[in-house]
Structure formats: C-alpha cells, structure tokens
Amino acid sequence: MAETGTINAAADICMVSPVAVGHALGELDRALGTPLTNRVRAKGVSLTPAGETVAEQARKILQDVAQLPLLIDAQSTTIGRTVRIGAFASLSASTIPPLITHFRKSHPETEIHFIEGDYDVLTAALSAGEIDMFLAQRNQLRPGVQALPIRRLKPYILMSTDHLLAAETDISFHQLHNEDFIRLGLSPARQHMTAILEEHGLKDRIRWTSDSIETVKELVGSGLGISLLYSYNQHFHTISGKKLSSVPIRDIGRENFTVVCIPDNIDPSPATLAVVDFFRSEAEQILPVGGLIHEQVSDHNVIRLAP
C-alpha cells in the first residue's frame, strides 16, 4: 500500500480483497499502538510519519530476505548451478559472450543467465536478489555496492584514420577545441562523457548522440566527428570493416576500470570469484586507486566508496 497509494491497488498486487487489506492495516495499527495511515475517501491513502518509518524498515527486511540466497552462496565452497549476472549494454557485448563460453568449458554444470540495464535497473535487481552480481565501470559506482576490479580502462579519442591527429602518440584536449564530438547515448556513458567534455570547455562541441556504439563508430569512420571512450582495447573497426584510429588522451585525471559489483554486506561467493578470475586472466594488473578503501578478501581486492 505504501508503494501503490491505494488499498484497491495493494489488494490487486497481493491478490486479496480490499477488505482484507483494510483489516490487516487495522491490526497493524492496534499492534503498534499508533495509526500508520491516513485514509481519505476519494483521495486514497497516505502514510503517517509512523507509517513512513515502518514502511522503510519493511523494505529493508524484504531486501535482506531477498539476499539470503547470496549469503548462502558466499558460505559455499562450490559454484552453484546458475550464475545470474547483469551488465550495461555498453559492456555486455565484449564481456558476456566470452564469459558464457569460458563457463561452458571450465564449469559445464553451471548455467549463466544475464540481464542488461542501466545502473538503477542493475542495482535494484541486485538488491532484490534477482542477480548475483553485475558488471560496471569504477566511475559509475555509487555507495551501496562493493566492487572487485578486473580490467583497467584507458581513455582514447576515436577518429578516422585520415584525421590530422590520427598519427599522434597521444593528444590533449586543447588540441580538440575545433572538433565535433559524437557521444554514446547509453547511460551512464552519456553522463560521464558529458561531464569530462564540460570540464574542458567542450560540452558545446557535442554534435551527435547515438545509443548504438556501432553508429558512433560509423559516424567517426565517415569523418563526421570524433568520440571519447574508455577501453582496454586500442583496435577498433566500423561494422562495415573500416579501421579507426584511437589515440590516447593524456589529460584525463579520472582513472577507470571494469568492476564486478556485489552487495556491500556480502562476501564474494565462489561464483563471483570465478567470474573475476576469468576476466582478470588476460587483463593487466589492477593497481591501487586513490580515494577508495582497499581490503583483502580471499586474495581479491575489494573496493568501496570512501564515506
């Protein structure tokens, strides 16, 4: 009822009658000795201050209950039969297929299930116990998760091979003030690129935005602009096979890397560690990052946002 705002809607979700919901609310009021709701005919139901407190505690209890399977998995010494993982759409193409292939060879008894979504979708799924972990980037993290770093991501400017700066070993933002930028529209890459360009006075140079990385690369390959992206791979081609140039950008102060995120109150499970070990197997060494708390858990560095 706290989520729906009406008794009828709450009854529909619970598949009981509105009378039963009203009776249950009355029982709660009597048990706690204070009214939890304000009921006004034709205006629905609102929570009293006491009701808001109870609703918040109930949400926490439900979240803890949803995470019980993850707590059990963390105590296990074996990988379960199913590993559920989430990823941003901008990451899934380069991470999920090789992960599934690896697990089919090394852990054939384990099935990989995955979902794609933005940060809010994935953190909600993690809190609800619908996924065991999700892949993200360090620069996208918010409090509430802990993360195991797996691959360092380097910033590159993507441009056509006939661009005047394509042969440079590295470049600076001050060389790009006359360039048109093509932005990946997927969240949170969109917000991250916008913030970086704004820091360097280049936000107004964003000419096009696309939710498709392939469209971004095609626009770049056609000489219509340049793009900024973090990657552990410096070799890029358009979907039509045209090679692109990627030049390191030297004046970005934000270090970034791919991470595996799990709930902040749960130790990494064998499944989590198996996923991390796979992604780290061909990755360069992860170095300490300033502003983060590092601790050793099962020989894996775990990072949490500093309070």
| CB 87 within 8 Å of CB 97 | no
- The burial class, CB within 10 Å (0-12 / 13-18 / 19+), for 277 is middle
Domain 7-66, what fold?
Arc Repressor Mutant, subunit A (1.10.10)
Distance in angstroms (rounded) separating the CA atoms of residues 169 and 188: 28
Q: Where is average pLDDT lowest: 58-62, 123-127, 148-152?
A: 58-62
As separate numbers, helices (DSSP H) first and strands (DSSP E) second, the chain gives 9, 14
Q: Residue 165 corresponds to which tokens in the numbers above?
A: 């700066």
Question: What residue ranges of the chain are covered by domains with CATH 3.40.190.10?
Answer: 83-151+255-305, 154-248
pLDDT confidence band for 143 (50 / 70 / 90): confident
Q: Is the peptide bond before 188 cis (omega within 30 degrees of 0)?
A: yes
Q: What is the pLDDT of residue 43?
A: 61
Per-residue pLDDT tens digits for 57-99: 776 666 665 555 555 555 554 566 788 999 987 778 878 898 8
Question: Pairing state of beta strands 111-116 and 82-87?
Answer: parallel
pLDDT exceeds cutoff 80 at 269 = no
**pLDDT (average), residues 188-192:** 81
Torsion of CA 252, 133, 275, 73, to 10 degrees: 150
Write down the residue that tokens 């949400």 correspond to: 59
| CB 274 within 8 Å of CB 156 | no
- The burial class, CB within 10 Å (0-12 / 13-18 / 19+), for 36 is buried
- In three-state secondary structure terms, 66 is helix
DSSP 8-state code for residue 77: S
- To the question of domain 83-151+255-305 being in CATH 3.30.565.10, the answer is no
**pLDDT (average), residues 201-223:** 93
Question: Is the full-model pTM beyond 0.85?
Answer: no
Run of H or E residues at 305 = strand 300-305
Q: Where is average pLDDT lowest: 2-6, 124-128, 201-205?
A: 2-6
**pLDDT (average), residues 102-125:** 89
pLDDT confidence band for 296 (50 / 70 / 90): very low
Question: Pairing state of beta strands 37-40 and 133-137?
Answer: unpaired
| CB 151 within 8 Å of CB 232 | yes
Alpha-helix runs per DSSP H in the chain: 7-14, 18-32, 49-66, 68-75, 89-106, 119-127, 189-199, 213-221, 270-280
Question: What residue ranges of the chain are covered by domains with CATH 1.10.10.10?
Answer: 7-66
Write down the residue that tokens 């407190």 correspond to: 53
- To the question of domain 154-248 being in CATH 3.40.190.10, the answer is yes
